[in-house]
Chains A and B, each alone.
Chain A
Amino acid sequence: MILTRRTLLLVATATLAGCDRLGRNESVREALFSAENFHRWAQRSLMARDALAQEFRPDQISPIFRANGTANPNTPAYKALWRGGFADWRLPVTGLVTRPLSLSLAQLQAMPHRTQITRHDCVEGWSAIGKWRGVPLKAILEAAGLRDSARYLVFRCADDMGGGRPYYESIDRFDAFHPQTILAYALNDRPLTVANGAPLRLRVERQLGYKQAKYLMGIEAVASLDGIGKGKGGYWEDYAGYDWYAGI
C-alpha cells in the first residue's frame, strides 16, 4: 500500500467533493436543515421560558463594540430621518393586534425601560459585550393588544440589502415576551449610532447577532411567515440559508 501525501490529498478532496455533492441533493439538504428544529426543541426543553442570557459587570464591556452588517442604510428616506434627529421617525406596530400603534422615539424613551449588559454573539464567531437600554417588547405588545392568533413578530428595517430587498427578521412568542427582549435605543449610555442601528434595534439575547435587527421601521404581528420575503423569516434566512432559530 503506497500512501503518499498526494494520494491522501486526493482521497481527502474526493471525499469532500462527495460531501459537497451530497450537500446539493435536495433531501440531504432538507435533513441537514432540519437539525435546526432539533436544536430549537432541545434548547427550549432545557431552558426555563424566562431563563436569562448572562449579564455582565460594567468593567466587562468590550472597549469597542464592533458594528457589523449594514454600517449606514444611506437611503434618501433614512438620511432625511437622520438629519431630523429621528424626530419624524415612527414605529408602526401593526398586523394581528387590537390597537395598532405608531410610536415616536420620545414616546418609546418615556416608557419604562430595561438596562442590560449582554454579550452579542455573531454567527461568524466573534463576541462583543455592550450595555443596552430599551423598552421591553412585551410592554409594547401588551399596549398594542397582541391577538392570540399572532405567532410571529416581524421586524422591518430601513436598510436595503440590494435589489430592493430590505433587511428583516422575525421571532416567535417564546422570545418576544422574554424579559431581556427589548427595543434598544441606547448602547453604552449613548444614543444608538448609525453603525449600531439608530434609532432603534431589536435585542433577542438568547440568539445570534443576525437576529438583532437594526434600523427598525415597523413591527408586524403575523400568524405565519409565508408570503413575507421568501418566507423563511429573515433576510439571511431567505438569501443565505441561515437558520431561523439562531440559538446555536
Chain B
Amino acid sequence: MDSQTPKATGTVRRHRLSTRLWHWLNAALLYVLFTSGLGIFNAHPRLYWGHYGANLDAAWLELDRFPGWLTLPALYSLAMSRHWHLAAAPIFAFALLFYMLWSLANRHIVRDLAFRRDDLAPRHIWQDIKDHARLRFPTGDAALRYNVLQKFSYIGVIFILLPLIILTGLTMAPGMNAAWPWLVDLFGGRQSARSLHFIAAFALVAFFLVHILMVLLAGPVNEVRSMITGRYRVPEERP
C-alpha cells in the first residue's frame, strides 16, 4: 500500500504488481486444483487417519461422489484429473514460494501483514468483529490498512493453509516419502495427510466464500479494479 499522503483521499495505488499477479494466478490455479482434486477424490471417496486405509478399514468420512458439474473433467477420468492436478500443483507451490520471498524482500509482509502491537489488543479485535458484523467498512486512511480480522485470515491462508495443502499433497507421493521421509512423520501417515489435504481444501473454499462476500459488500467494482490495475478509490470518511 503506497499511501504517500497522510490523509488518503481520491484514488491511490493499492496493490503491488506482485500481489495482483499472484492473486489472479492463484484464482485460476486453485480453481483447477480444487475441481480436479474432487475428481481424484471420487476415485476413492473415503478418508482415514494413520498410515493405511482401504475399503475394509474404518473411514472417518465416507461421501458419495462429487457431481460432474464440480469436477474436472466432468466425466469421471482419474487420469485426466491427475494430469490437471499434477500440472497445476508445482506452479502453484513455486508461485507461493516466490510470493513469500518477494513479499519479504519488498517488506509487504512486515509492513502490511504483520500484526502491530495494538492490533492484538482484545478490545481492538472485539471492535473489529463488531464492525464486520455491522458491515461498517473502514474509510479514509483505515481503508488502506488491513484490519486485524483480514490479517488473521491472510496470514492463516498464506502461512498455514497453503503450505499445509502443498506439504500434505507431497506427502501422498510415494516418491516423496523416499526423498523426504520426515514429511510422512510430520503428518502421521499417508492417509492422515490425505485427510488433512481434503480438510485444507475445504478450508480454502470457506475462505474463498467469505472473501467473495466481503468484496461484494465492500464495493465489488472498486475492489476488483484495485486487484487488476492496482488503483483504489479511497472510501470517504464518514461525517
Q: Is the CB of A23 closer than 8 A to any CB of chain B?
A: yes
Q: Are B78 and A56 in contact, CB atoms less than 8 angstroms apart?
A: no
For A29, give the chain B residue with the smallest CB separation: B83
Chain B residues with CB under 8 A of A119: 51-52, 174, 177, 190
Q: Are B90 and A35 in contact, CB atoms less than 8 angstroms apart?
A: yes
Which of B32, B52, B172, B177 sits near A53, CB closer than 8 Å?
Answer: B177
Q: Is the CB of B55 closer than 8 A to any CB of chain A?
A: yes
Q: Are A126 and B55 in contact, CB atoms less than 8 angstroms apart?
A: yes
Complex interface bits, B176-198 against A, C-beta within 8 A gives 1, otherwise 0: 11111100100000110010000
Q: Are A129 and B87 in contact, CB atoms less than 8 angstroms apart?
A: no
Size bin of chain A's contact surface: 35 or more
Q: Is the CB of B206 closer than 8 A to any CB of chain A?
A: no
Known: A62-B57, A241-B80. A247 touches B175 (CB 8 A): yes
Q: Are B174 and A19 in contact, CB atoms less than 8 angstroms apart?
A: no
For A45, give the chain B residue with the smallest CB separation: B179
In the bound complex, what is the Cα–Cα distance between A51 and B83 (angstroms)? Answer: 26
Which of A32, A64, A129, A242 sits near B84, CB closer than 8 Å?
Answer: A32
Chain A residues with CB under 8 A of B172: 121, 125, 248
Q: Are B51 and A35 in contact, CB atoms less than 8 angstroms apart?
A: no
Q: Are B51 and A19 in contact, CB atoms less than 8 angstroms apart?
A: no
Q: Is the CB of A228 closer than 8 A to any CB of chain B?
A: no
Q: Are B83 and A123 in contact, CB atoms less than 8 angstroms apart?
A: no
Chain A residues with CB under 8 A of B44: 122, 124-126
Q: Are B56 and A66 in contact, CB atoms less than 8 angstroms apart?
A: yes
Which of A9-17, A78-86, A92-100 is the interface stretch? Answer: A9-17
Q: Are A32 and B83 in contact, CB atoms less than 8 angstroms apart?
A: yes
Q: Is the CB of B46 closer than 8 A to any CB of chain A?
A: yes
Instruction: Give chain A interface residues in 6-61, CB to chain B under 8 Å.
Output: 9, 12-13, 15-17, 19-20, 23, 29, 31-36, 38-39, 42-44, 46-47, 51-54, 56, 60
Q: Is the CB of A206 closer than 8 A to any CB of chain B?
A: yes
Known: A19-B84, A54-B181, A124-B43. A63 touches B174 (CB 8 A): no
In the bound complex, what is the Cα–Cα distance between A63 and B220 (angstroms)? Answer: 55
In the bound complex, what is the Cα–Cα distance between A65 and B122 (angstroms)? Answer: 53
Q: Are A46 and B179 in contact, CB atoms less than 8 angstroms apart?
A: yes
In the bound complex, what is the Cα–Cα distance between A118 and B189 (angstroms)? Answer: 12
State the Cβ distance, A204 to closest chain B Cβ, in Å: 9
Chain B residues with CB under 8 A of A62: 52, 54, 57
Which of A33, A42, A60, A247 sits near B83, CB closer than 8 Å?
Answer: A33
Complex interface bits, B54-86 against A, C-beta within 8 A gives 1, otherwise 0: 111100000000000111111001111011101
Known: A12-B69, A46-B179. A124 touches B78 (CB 8 A): yes
In the bound complex, what is the Cα–Cα distance between A60 and B48 (angstroms)? Answer: 15
For A20, give the chain B residue with the smallest CB separation: B73
Q: Is the CB of A220 closer than 8 A to any CB of chain B?
A: no
Q: Is the CB of B53 closer than 8 A to any CB of chain A?
A: yes
Q: Is the CB of B8 closer than 8 A to any CB of chain A?
A: no
Chain B residues with CB under 8 A of A54: 177-178, 181, 184
Pick 7 A–B contacts, CB within 8 A, sort by A. Answer: A16-B72, A23-B80, A35-B86, A39-B86, A122-B44, A241-B79, A247-B173
What is the interface of chain A, defined by CB distance below 8 A to chain B? 1, 3, 9, 12-13, 15-17, 19-20, 23, 29, 31-36, 38-39, 42-44, 46-47, 51-54, 56, 60, 62-64, 66, 119, 121-129, 205-208, 236, 240-243, 246-248
What is the interface of chain B, defined by CB distance below 8 A to chain A? 31-32, 35, 40-41, 43-44, 46, 48, 51-57, 69-74, 77-80, 82-84, 86-87, 90, 172-181, 184, 190-191, 194, 216, 220
